[in-house]
Amino acid sequence: MSWRWALARRVAALAAGSGASGAAQAQRLLTTSSGAGAALLGRQHLPLASQIRSKVVGCRGAAFMSSRWLHDAQYQVRQDGDSRSQEHRDPFELVADDLSLVADRLRSMVAAEVPKLASAAEYFFKVGAEGKKFRPTVLLLMASALKFPLSESTEGGVLSILADKLRAPHLNIAEITEMIHVASLLHDDVLDDADTRRGVSSLNLVMGNKLSVLAGDFLLSRACVALAALGNTEVVSLMATAVEHLVTGETMQISTSREQRRSMEYYLQKTYYKTASLISNSCKAVAVLAGHTAEVSMLAYEYGRNLGLAFQLIDDVLDFTGTSASLGKGSLSDIRHGIITAPILYAMEEFPQLHEVVDSGFDNPANVELALDYLQKSRGIERTKELAREHANRAIKAIEALPDSDDEDVLTSRRALIDITERVITRTK
């Protein structure tokens, strides 16, 4: 629960249960809020604490600590907390401190004895090349959204230590997930012969394919070490499955048959493996580490799964509608590599003659232009966006189905996760 709400409840319990002695204890409790308690309440809470303190200090005995005032104080705290949680707050700013910590720790974790390997491994963890930090942000918000309230009777110092201890494994999952993700990017860029990534030259272009592959392997090994240190076999299994799916999805992409290239079902399964599995299993791992039930863990998984699918569907749209500068990589990258995505699949449904173009491949630039002409005449882009919206709505429903909470931080984090979902389907880069 929020500290303001917890403070009001504690004052109420002391005053109502112990007469004049309780009122004195309540007064002392509020007085200490200007010292160590203030750090816990936060500066923005001090005006409210002062208001409550003035009411208590102004009383002379328990008779003046009326139940009516206590009820009003509690109601005021609840209302203030609700209004704060309703405020629109940038999701990335909410976890900015943790993101900075994760970034610093990642740079430390990928250090290697061999200078060239170290330089390659840290290539996308350097300041300015870290990307949007999308996955760590989602996971850190999920951890807050699933937070259990700590006991109000816990001493401040102990509470802070306990909160840090509970938060540590979730920071680890964010770091592990990001290392796995970057490793997959390094390997993908080699397979795709890419020359840009995150707006800079790809590692394979700068240092060659061999070192890129080795750097990806090195990141995976570091992720495994960090994963083993968590000591949770279910979480190890979840993250290992995500890595397996990354390999499976990439294999599905480079070894499609004629029928598979035309199949929306095949495309969505491949998309789940390549993109959505990592974020969905990571979200589930957060829930497992927090000690939640299987039902809540599956809601976290469903959020990540549908968010990941929506993210990739919009990515596939932007490959046709975005610019190289905005995407941080070449536009029309997929179709030029012969990869068929949702917009083209939908266009094929409207224009069966596009099947022949797809079957003949896109080594010939004329076929690329012809496919783009059909796509422009079709509703392929619109239908892909509609499908992304469907998955986004499912992700939002998963968050809304989480157990009720009156904790301000929990509610704020859940709204931030919904906000991120909306951002995913309205982004332009």
pLDDT tens, position by position, for the chain (429 residues)?
Answer: 334 444 444 544 444 444 445 445 545 544 444 333 333 333 333 343 344 334 333 433 333 333 334 444 444 444 444 444 455 688 989 999 999 899 889 888 888 888 888 888 887 777 555 567 899 999 999 999 998 765 555 455 544 555 566 678 999 999 999 999 999 999 988 888 777 786 778 888 888 889 999 999 999 999 999 999 999 999 999 999 999 999 999 999 988 888 999 999 999 999 999 999 999 999 999 999 999 999 999 999 999 999 999 999 999 999 998 754 444 444 788 888 888 999 999 999 999 999 999 988 888 889 999 999 999 999 999 999 999 999 999 999 999 999 999 999 999 999 999 999 999 999 987
Task: Specify burial of residue 271 (Cβ count, 10 A radius: 0-12, 13-18, 19+).
Answer: buried
Residue 241: how many other CB atoms lie within 10 Å: 16
Residue 293: how many other CB atoms lie within 10 Å: 10
Q: Which amino acid is at 216?
A: G
For 152, the token pair is: 């109000």
Return d(Cα 42, Cα 47) in angstroms, integer.
10
Please, which residues bridge with residue 200 across strands? 197
Task: Give backbone dihedrals phi and psi of 426, rounded to 5 degrees, phi first.
Answer: -115, 0
Q: What is the pLDDT of residue 222?
A: 94
Task: Give backbone dihedrals phi and psi of 198, rounded to 5 degrees, phi first.
Answer: 55, 35
Do 289 and 232 touch, CB atoms closer than 8 A?
Answer: yes
Q: What is the pLDDT of residue 88?
A: 67
Q: Which of 283, 309, 322 is nearest to 427 (CA)?
A: 322
For 403, the token pair is: 């157990």
Residue 9: how many other CB atoms lie within 10 Å: 16
Q: How far is CA 316 from CA 309, 321, 344, 345, 388, in A?
A: 11, 9, 10, 11, 10
Return d(Cα 74, Cα 203) in angstroms, integer.
57
| Sign, Cα dihedral of 189, 194, 200, 206 | positive
Return d(Cα 114, Cα 197) in angstroms, integer.
24
Q: What is the pLDDT of residue 313?
A: 97
Q: Which of 239, 194, 198 is nearest to 212 (CA)?
A: 194
Domains of the chain from N-terminus onward = 88-147+157-424 (1.10.600.10)
Return d(Cα 290, Cα 405) in angstroms, integer.
15
Task: Give backbone dihedrals phi and psi of 197, rounded to 5 degrees, phi first.
Answer: -160, 130
Do 398 and 303 touch, CB atoms closer than 8 A?
Answer: yes
Task: Specify burial of residue 136 (Cβ count, 10 A radius: 0-12, 13-18, 19+).
Answer: buried
Instruction: Let me know how long the chain is.
Output: 429
For 49, the token pair is: 């604490």
Return d(Cα 267, Cα 282) in angstroms, integer.
22
Residue 164: how many other CB atoms lie within 10 Å: 10
Q: What is the pLDDT of residue 167?
A: 79
Q: Quickly tell me which residue has 């990141």 as its tokens.
A: 219
Do 134 and 277 touch, CB atoms closer than 8 A?
Answer: no
Q: Which amino acid is at 227?
A: L
Do 354 and 347 touch, CB atoms closer than 8 A?
Answer: yes
Q: Quickly tell me which residue has 């491994």 as its tokens.
A: 121
Q: Quickly tell me which residue has 């330089």 as its tokens.
A: 119
